């Protein structure tokens, strides 16, 4: 379990998050939603200790993240960043193997067990056939699968994804989130997805947190969080949450924008 208690954070004395309490439950897919600039990515970086809160604390199974090493954190929490741009001509296998770095001793290479885990991560994400291809010759959707495979190779219990479908075609968006959902179900992986794409993440998240005005504005099941009034307040849109009986999935029907009030 990952927990934030009383978290506040500022950039150059400008409040970004104020007194945020958040619990991420084992095995769930939690969506952190909100408009651009509301603090979603900042919260994700705090959960991974890439940023340090000005007040409050973040714990993993009652262990304060400020009291442990980054190597320890990387053995439990993996991150898929917003950008998957890689400037050097690494092969897919090279990139995925980087996920084993938190487990390597200084000046020692990967063991046979490490490489077995790398091969399994590529198989789980459906990229084994690309193992020897250069990553900068791959499409955006293929690269995103490679970055997820790198994260899976860390054998984390928690996976943090920052806008994982950004800049992807619609078919690749579904492929990536289908993959994440399958890994959560099969591996018991706890997943946190940061996004502003309401229709997309509504289909995949077990629970949601909506950030507005530097705070958690609403929290709970998607139907409880994405009420018409909440979406009007946070996103300035007129939209309704629906459950499609035919498709057996949640959806958002956007009716239009709303005037400020």
**Structural domain boundaries of the chain?**
1-76+156-221, 88-154
Long-range CB contacts (within 8 A, 24+) of 215-218: 215/17, 215/18, 215/19, 215/20, 216/20, 216/21, 216/22, 217/34
Q: What is the pLDDT of residue 170?
A: 86
- If DSSP states are collapsed to H, E and C, what string results for 104-160? CCCCCCCCHHHHHHHHHHHHHCCCHHHCCCEHHHCCHHHHHHHHHHHHHHCCCCEEE
Distances in Å between the Cα of 98 and the Cα atoms of 112, 115, 183, 192 are: 15, 11, 20, 22
Give the whole-angstrom CA distance, residue 156 versus residue 99.
Answer: 10
Instruction: Choose among 205, 74, 218, 95: nearest CA to 150.
Output: 95
Q: Which two three-digit tokens encode residue 200?
A: 């997309």
Q: Which CATH number is associated with domain 1-76+156-221?
A: 3.40.50.300
- Count other Cβ atoms within 10 Å, centred on residue 201: 23
Contact 133, 114 (CB under 8 A): no
Query: Element (H or E) spanning 217, and its range?
Result: strand 215-220
> Could you tell me the strand order of the sheet in which 29-33 lies?
77-80, 158-162, 190-195, 29-33, 207-212, 215-220
- Count other Cβ atoms within 10 Å, centred on residue 157: 19
Q: What is the pLDDT of residue 123?
A: 93
Q: What percent of the chain has pLDDT over 90?
A: 59
DSSP single-letter state for residue 236? -
Q: What is the pLDDT of residue 106?
A: 67
Name the stretches of the chain with pLDDT < 50: 261
Query: Element (H or E) spanning 175, and its range?
Result: helix 170-187
Residues 6+ apart with CB under 8 A from 101: 74
Q: What is the pLDDT of residue 261?
A: 47
Give the whole-angstrom CA distance, residue 189 versus residue 94.
Answer: 24
Q: Are strands 249-257 and 207-212 parallel, antiparallel or unpaired?
A: unpaired
Q: What are phi and psi of 48, to 5 degrees?
A: -105, 5
Residues 6+ apart with CB under 8 A from 127: 92, 96, 142, 145, 146, 149
pTM: 0.91
């Amino acid at each position: 379990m990952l927990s934030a208690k009383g978290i506040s954070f500022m950039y150059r004395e400008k409040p970004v998050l104020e007194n945020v309490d958040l619990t991420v439950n084992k095995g769930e897919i939690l969506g952190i939603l909100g408009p651009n600039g509301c603090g979603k990515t900042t919260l994700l970086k705090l959960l991974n200790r890439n940023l340090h809160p000005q007040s409050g604390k973040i714990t993993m199974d009652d262990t304060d993240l400020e009291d442990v090493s980054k190597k320890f954190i990387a053995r439990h929490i993996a991150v898929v960043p917003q950008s998957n741009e890689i400037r050097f001509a690494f092969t897919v296998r090279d990139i995925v193997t980087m996920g084993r770095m938190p487990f390597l001793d200084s000046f020692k290479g990967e063991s046979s067990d490490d490489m077995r885990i790398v091969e399994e991560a590529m198989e789980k994400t459906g990229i084994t056939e690309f193992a020897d291809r250069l990553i900068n010759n791959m499409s955006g959707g293929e690269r995103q699968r490679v970055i997820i495979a790198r994260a899976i190779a860390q054998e984390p219990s928690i996976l943090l994804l920052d806008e994982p479908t950004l800049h992807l075609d619609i078919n690749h968006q579904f492929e990536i989130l289908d993959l994440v959902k399958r890994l959560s179900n099969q591996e018991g992986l706890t997943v946190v997805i940061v996004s502003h794409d309401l229709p997309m993440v509504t289909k995949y998240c077990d629970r949601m947190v909506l950030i507005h005005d530097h705070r958690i504005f609403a929290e709970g099941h998607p139907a409880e969080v994405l009420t018409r009034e909440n979406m009007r307040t946070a996103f300035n849109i007129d939209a309704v949450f629906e459950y499609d009986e035919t498709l057996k999935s949640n959806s958002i029907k956007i009716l239009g924008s709303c005037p400020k009030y």
